Amino acid sequence: MRIGLALPQYDFSVPGESPLSWETLRGFARRADETGFDSLWLSDHLFFDVGKYGGSSEPAGAYEPIVTLAALSREVKRARLGTLVLCEALRPATVLAKALASLDRITGGRLDVGLGAGWYEPEYAAIGMDFPSPGVRLARLAECVQIVAELLGPEGGPCTFDGRFHHADGARNLPPALQRPRPPVFVGGKGDRLIALAVDRADGWNTCWVWTPQDYRARLDVLAAACDRADRDPETVWRSLGLYALCGEDEADLARRFDRLRANTPPGVLDHVTLEQWRVGRLVGTVAQVQEQAATWAGLGVETLILGVGAVPFHVGAPDDVDLLAHALGVASPAPIAD
């Protein structure tokens, strides 16, 4: 199983630093790459708040993922770079495919493309768009996935598509993406219709950030049923999973690190949460316990486990929490990186 890291991206992502500096984001990415993480990930919001998680509803600044991953590709020499996930509504599908093909070339063929239906209503208002119903958002995403996947292929099109929401008329993507047959395209979410969309139109499926193995198994049953309907082998659906993660050398160290995480988390998120509550549905425990949990996820077919080393998405409680998780999960330090 490969191990990825959700990078700090927002003005709440690193304790005591707002706005988040480019040097800090860059430093986390370089350190993770040099440590040996297999992939690094950014999400996609124009701005973001943690009201959903019990914190402030005040919008925080955000780094745009496509531009940021292009810049990080000059610093990150090994790890794959991915989007978790791009919001369909923020860019026309053809324009998005063009940007992603260029990004794949800039990264040397290390791009993983995650697409999502969107859920953060304030950014829809910010772009002057009414917030669609779940069904409409999924329909929009299905059209976007089809166009993006086609334009990321080895010939870069041509693509002609006359959908309800997205359109292309002989669109070409030149130069095409570097990876063959194309950069992996997956969708993120957890509902039955989203999983069916992943099976019908994408290379893979992601879900995050709080899951128990029991609940995930139930989703795998939905995935298997969708594959039966589509006559697709479930093993061909690439599966990545994001989990909040925290590790301690022993129980006392874990408790100390959780107390520090609580102090370093945006107010309101962990104010009344105990360590025992925080363990549920997250990759949390001593080194041995985290290793056992990771083995369970690998046994469920998770190919890439993406660590959210904080209490809200793309938040990092402390750098040494990242280091200990890397050690526990066998993220070996590779050979020195050539300039």
* Tens digits of pLDDT across the chain (339 residues): 999 999 999 999 999 999 999 999 999 999 999 999 999 999 999 999 999 999 999 999 999 999 999 999 999 999 999 999 999 999 999 999 999 999 999 999 999 999 999 999 999 999 999 999 999 999 999 999 999 999 999 999 999 999 999 999 999 999 999 999 999 999 999 999 999 999 999 999 999 999 999 999 999 999 999 999 999 999 999 999 999 999 999 999 999 999 999 999 999 999 999 999 999 999 999 999 999 999 999 999 999 999 999 999 999 999 999 999 999 999 965 444 443
- Packing angle, helices 93-106 and 134-151, rounded to 10: 50
pLDDT for residue 332: 65
> Around Cβ 206, how many Cβ atoms within 10 Å?
27
Gap between the Cα atoms of 333 and 34, Å rounded: 7
Gap between the Cα atoms of 157 and 173, Å rounded: 6
Q: Classify the phi-psi angles of 196: left when phi > 0, otherwise alpha if psi is within -120 to 50, otherwise beta.
A: alpha
Q: Residue 28's closest CA among 68, 87, 84?
A: 68
Q: Domain residues of the chain, as ranges?
A: 2-328
Gap between the Cα atoms of 143 and 140, Å rounded: 5
E-state strands within the chain: 2-6, 39-42, 80-83, 86-87, 111-116, 159-162, 167-171, 185-188, 204-209, 238-248, 283-286, 304-308
Those residues with Cβ within 8 angstroms of residue 233's Cβ, 6 or more apart along the chain or in another chain: 227
Gap between the Cα atoms of 204 and 303, Å rounded: 10
Gap between the Cα atoms of 41 and 308, Å rounded: 10
* Domain 2-328, CATH among 3.40.50.720, 3.90.1150.110, 3.20.20.30, 1.25.10.10: 3.20.20.30
Which pTM value belongs to this model?
Answer: 0.96
Backbone angles phi, psi at 207, to 5 degrees: -145, 155
Q: Residue 117's closest CA among 223, 10, 193?
A: 193
State how beta strands 185-188 and 238-248 pair: unpaired
Backbone angles phi, psi at 5, to 5 degrees: -130, 130
pLDDT for residue 333: 56
Q: Omega of the bond prior to 92 within 30 degrees of 0, cis?
A: no
